A and B are shown apart, each in its own frame.
Chain A
């Protein structure tokens, strides 16, 4: 493990069972993840897809340190993390910006926690304000921004911390298609510049094939690693190309049975 350059993220036989207390005092268990073996190289862009409830968020939250794993191992840059930390930045679907801080202050928050000198905090803030195109909105508060702008701030806030891994849980899920496309382009540009490792959850097969170096498919009950599909198409990708659609077909076929089960359960 320590000999070769460490992978950004490694999970070995990772298992997660949620225990929740029922009203009558007894416990119910949910086997959310089973035997997840995943290795993410440094700088790799991974998309995770799968039916609802298959454990995508759970996996990401374990890597982030918000949840503990039940059995198995997790390494981030060769070390087992103890709890959340600034080496793993999370971009939430609902932004989770600090509403009492301005755009610039939100971005400066992480570097401040790290105790960087004032000048350096200011410089980082400016750089990432520019990178997400929000310089003119620096003094606005989160409630004064559109969803797309909020998510740009959330991305900048995480980037300013220079994390080894960026975790994104359906970050563009709440946005309209046009805003979403704009943010996908921005994210790819940022990723190409900064060469960060990204774990990105999405419901959209299109989004996964468009963004990822490798798409990971999970299947539910319990969440298992079902399929890994490398995407070697050159960027910018042509979403109308035959190859692109062949990859989509493969992935859609992989999740189709799980989606059908989900649909039947809801019916």
Chain B
């Protein structure tokens, strides 16, 4: 780009045109679908026609999943109830995730910046962190009673730590150079946090949010073991007791799809907000 004789004012650099990558003419989703298709075919071959198989073939699961969503096939208590149950679960997932986020991120920002706060709070957090969410189940039910508040509390507990730790790391690992650069460019001391530390830490904070939301879905089934009557996780636990494995698997698939979709939405938001960050694209 630069030339040996080039002078600053005279050499106007021009952006290079980017050639589109010309790979094999097969769309990306083709590769993504190959493995699931193979697994489903193998599953079908292994289970179809075996009357006493504990695991139903995929064809049965597809029918149940359809019936769960739209009704009209099995006409049992679960027919056509997916939307209502999914709404209940989505509300709890996002409520728990949101509660955790509004506590974890500000707390993480403080812990990342203040040695005193770290000394005061960090040991306690490190002690609580390895306790699995399932172990909190009885205690949450005593504290919040049977029902959705306990579910939300469990999801919040489980998603809290990844968001907290990523925020703390993001803040602590801000390059000191960037702060120096901001200082020598005249940034007021009080504004360094908002103008440098926050944007510099934002990719890490965003990673925490993504992990947290993903975990919220993972925790849904445990979260709905608190005696809530509705929700995809509650349905799965009930279906297990009724030996309705087809329904269990349908619920699993739907949770997977919802978790995937919510991750995509967060990814899209992050990609827009963190457009400058090559790792977020």
Contacts and interface: CB of A to CB of B under 8 A. Distances in A.
B178 A96 contact: yes
Given A84-B180, A92-B181, A96-B178, A189 B276 contact: no
Interface string B24-50: 000000000000000000000000000
B278 interface: yes
B183 interface: yes
Nearest to B1: A146
B71 interface: no
A113 interface: yes
Nearest to A84: B183
Contacts of A158: 184-185
B184 A86 contact: yes
Interface stretch (A15-23, A136-144, A219-227, A252-260): A136-144
B274 to A, nearest CB: 8
Interface string A75-92: 000000001111011101
Contacts of A30: none
B277 interface: yes
A113 B1 contact: no
B1 A149 contact: yes
B185 A130 contact: no
A148 B2 contact: yes
Contacts, number: 120
Interface string B186-203: 111001000010011010
B20 interface: no
The size class of the interface chain A forms with chain B is 35 or more
B177 A101 contact: no
A114 B181 CA distance: 15
A42 interface: no
Contacts of B116: none
A37 B187 CA distance: 30
Interface string A173-184: 000001101110
Given A142-B276, A149-B13, A161-B186, 16 more contacts: A64-B184, A65-B184, A85-B183, A85-B186, A89-B185, A90-B184, A92-B177, A92-B180, A96-B177, A98-B196, A109-B182, A137-B15, A178-B4, A182-B11, A189-B8, A190-B8
